[in-house]
Amino acid sequence: MKAHLVRQKNIAEKISPEVAISNWKDWKWQIRHCVNDIDTFETLLDIKFDPEERKSLEETLEKFPLSITPYYLSLIQADDLKNDPIFMQAFPSPSELILSKDDMHDPLSEDSDSPVPGITHRYPDRVLFHISNVCSMYCRHCTRKRKVGDVDSVPGKEEVQKGLDYIANHPEVRDVLLSGGDPFMLSDEYLDWILTELRAIPHVEVIRIGSRMPVVLPYRITDELVNVLKKHHPVWVNTHFNHPREVTKSSREALRKLADAGIPLGNQTVLLSGVNDCYRILKRLFHKLVENRVRPYYLYQCDLSEGLTHFRTSVGKGIEIMEHLVGHTSGFAIPTYVIDAPEGGGKIPILPTYMISRSTNRVILRNYEGVITSYKEPEDYKPVYCSRECDDCSLQLKLDDASEYKSVGIAKLLVDHDETLSLVPGETERLERRDSEG
Ligand SMILES: *Cc1c(COP(=O)(O)O)cnc(C)c1O
């Protein structure tokens, strides 16, 4: 018998000798038997922490609780526990109590960008909709760590309705990202209701669901769930694999079901010190993902939430990893490396520098091998002047309301029809002087 199957069997028998392995693939059984305390963890893995360590672990749990599905627990290899990537993502470390002076309570300002409970509206055309406050496993690197275990509940229909109303009243929202907690903690019926209500809003073009279930509890991806999802297409699912060891037979099966139902799959990885901060590990992971029809979407720089200090890498590490991917492997196996800016600035992509110089009609580029090359730009390219009147334009997209479109940020400085010449920070001494003298 394979090592991981032996571990599964041992764990299942210790949890409940009578039912054991036959229940293993029942996701509700898994949820009922999530490990929430150190004693059970020790028993199931046949290990013992020393008393001092134990004390600091207990202290950590008081602030940041523990929950591991038996399935995810069975992926831990206890012979090198401290370096085990599964263990590190699932089991608390006393380092979580170390507060760095740069840590922030809500680094992404999700609470302040929230017009109604459950909705974070940050970007012009899409919203994050938190429809679950619960997870089967509490990832130790959770960006919403401040909330983990707080309100262990799923918002009722009345509360969800407020979010739905917000979306219905905002015709600019064309993309709704269901998040949480984990949306797949909801029952199939409840999800079906939410998806039906969202689909009834004409301007909602795509629905995305962010869930770690394919990784931490793949048995949640049942035929019944998939049948619910595919009724509401286009539905995209983004999941969260961080290490190739998480790609198991069971998780592959979950991904297959989703992909076979026509659901485009993406993956978000968090760059984590000691877990996956190695280009070989990540390249292996991304290859395994595309083999299973999952497109690596984002590689996140670990953000500034409290309790994550020990997981953070330098940004240089992320750039080094991108350097080892771009050109070296299939473009679709390479995620976009992003930093989610503090205070709600949103995701900012980071790449090594490829354009090293330019003249009026040439760009000088370097490739992944170090070849320095020049690209000659056309002499006679005439960009189309945009007055925002599609009727006056030869390009074929006849928008009625083009003149109402507002340009934002750097794009605003680039468009023809806007006379703005600078974006100026609000509080500079120069401007204060101007005000006092004017
Ligand atoms: C990440 C995120 C989104 C989605 O961003 P994409 O780049 O479109 O994937 C939307 N809203 C919030 C608040 C987010 O953090």
For the stretch 282-296, pLDDT in tens is 999 999 999 999 999
Catalytic-residue membership of 142? yes
Backbone torsions φ then ψ of 129, nearest 5 degrees: -125, 110
Determine the distance separating the centroid of ligand 1 and the alpha carbon of 176, expressed in angstroms: 9
- In this structure, the strands spanning 265-271 and 126-130 are unpaired
Q: In percent, how much of the chain has pLDDT > 90?
A: 75
Q: Which residues have CB under 8 Å from 257's CB, separation 6+?
A: 221, 223, 226
Contact 201, 231 (CB under 8 A): no
pLDDT tens digits for range 173-222: 999 999 989 999 999 999 999 999 999 999 999 999 999 999 999 999 99
Task: Enumerate the domain spans of the chain.
Answer: 3-91, 119-349, 390-437
Give the mean model confidence (pLDDT) for residues 108-116: 84
pLDDT 10s digits, 382-420:
998 888 888 888 898 888 887 777 888 999 999 888 889
For ligand 1, atom 6, the nearest C-alpha belongs to 347
CA distance 178 to 228: 15
pLDDT for the residue numbered 438:
55
Q: Rounded distance, CA 205 to CA 235, Å?
A: 9
Looking at residue 344, what is its pLDDT?
Answer: 84
The whole-number pLDDT of residue 437 equals 67
> 14-28, 94-108, 292-306 — which one is most confidently predicted on average?
292-306
* Average pLDDT score, the chain: 93
Catalytic residue, chosen from 139, 182, 245, 300, is 139
Q: Which amino acid, 274?
A: G
Q: Quote the ligand 1 centre to 94 CA distance (angstroms).
A: 31
Higher pLDDT, 2 or 259: 259
Active-site hit among 54, 123, 199, 293: 123
pLDDT at 337 over 80: yes
Task: Give the mean model confidence (pLDDT) for residues 134-143.
Answer: 94
Residues in the chain: 438
128 lines ligand 1 (CB under 6 A): yes
Per-residue confidence (pLDDT) for residue 106, from 0 to 100: 84
Q: What is the pLDDT of residues 261-279, one digit of tens each?
A: 999 999 999 999 999 999 9
- 34 classed as catalytic: no
Cα 239-5-16 angle, rounded to 5 deg: 95
Output the pLDDT for position 152: 62
Alpha carbon separation from 111 to 49, 96, 108, 399 (Å, rounded): 37, 22, 8, 35
- Rounded Cα–Cα distance for residues 316 and 279 (Å): 12
φ and ψ at residue 56, rounded to 5 degrees: -70, -30
Ligand 1 probe mutation, 121, 122, 172, most atoms within 8 A of CB: 122
Which of 9, 25, 122, 366 is catalytic? The answer is 122
Which residues make Cβ contacts (< 8 Å) with residue 319, sequence separation at least 6? 337, 350, 351, 352
The residue type found at 10 is: N
Residue 144: CB within 6 Å of ligand 1?
Answer: no
The yes-or-no verdict on residue 305 having pLDDT over 80 is yes
Q: How far is the CA of 128 from the centre of ligand 1 (A)?
A: 7
| Best probe residue, ligand 1, of 347, 348, 350 (max atoms within 8 Å of C-beta) | 347
Distance 218 CA to ligand 1 centre (A): 24
- H helix or E strand, kind and range, residue 257: helix 249-260
More confident residue, 431 or 94: 94
Taking the CA atoms of residue 366, residue 368, residue 371 and residue 376 in that order, the dihedral angle to the nearest 10 degrees is: -40
Q: Please tell me the predicted confidence (pLDDT) of residue 296.
A: 98
Q: Does pTM surpass 0.75?
A: yes
Q: Which CATH class is domain 119-349?
A: alpha beta
